């Protein structure tokens, strides 16, 4: 009987962590931080330009100018946008700089998103193109 109690307690702890990690901010935007990066970043009218659309529910989609990107995002306590579960198509595109596919996190200052790669270095910037 003691083993069953341990499983129940462990399952409760895991459920509690999942509920805490999935909490949304008061305005429905992805959790954490004091910035609200939800909206459109980059030129969506140019099909060869990188762009991202960050939704209030914590999902994102976009393009590196060639490949389609999607995944989830959140804001940590240091006001960094964290990109997670990132997936992309893998097409080869001549003459297109596909830097955005390397995104890992970003910082936001006014209307500029500075995108950082896996090693934490800047790989590019996107301008906010809406007033979300």
The full set of domain ranges for the chain reads: 27-127
Structural contact between residues 30 and 74, judged by C-beta atoms closer than 8 angstroms: yes
Class of domain 27-127: mainly beta
Average pLDDT for residues 5-26, to the nearest whole number?
40
Task: Break the chain down into helix, strand, coil percent, rounded to 5.
Answer: 20, 35, 45
Q: pLDDT of 28-81, one tens digit each? A: 445 567 899 999 999 999 989 999 999 999 999 999 999 999 999 999 999 999
Q: Hey, what are 16's tokens?
A: 């509690």
Give pTM, 2 decimals.
Answer: 0.73
Q: What is the arithmetic mean of pLDDT over 10-33?
A: 43
Confirm if 74 and 84 have CB atoms less than 8 A apart: yes
Residue 19 main-chain phi, psi, to 5 deg? -65, -40
Q: Per the structure block, which two tokens stand in for 2?
A: 């003691």
């Amino acid at each position: 009987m003691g083993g069953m109690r341990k499983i129940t307690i462990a399952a409760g702890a895991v459920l509690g962590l999942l509920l805490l990690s999935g909490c949304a901010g008061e305005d429905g935007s992805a959790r954490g931080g004091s910035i609200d990066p939800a909206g459109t970043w980059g030129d969506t009218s140019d099909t060869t330009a990188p762009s991202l659309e960050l939704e209030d529910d914590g999902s994102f989609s976009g393009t590196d100018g060639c490949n389609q990107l999607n995944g989830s995002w959140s804001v940590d306590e240091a006001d960094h946008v964290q990109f997670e579960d990132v997936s992309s198509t893998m097409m080869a595109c001549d003459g297109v700089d596909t830097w955005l596919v390397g995104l890992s996190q970003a910082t936001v200052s006014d209307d500029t998103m500075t995108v950082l790669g896996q090693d934490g270095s800047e790989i590019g910037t996107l301008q906010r193109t809406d007033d979300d």
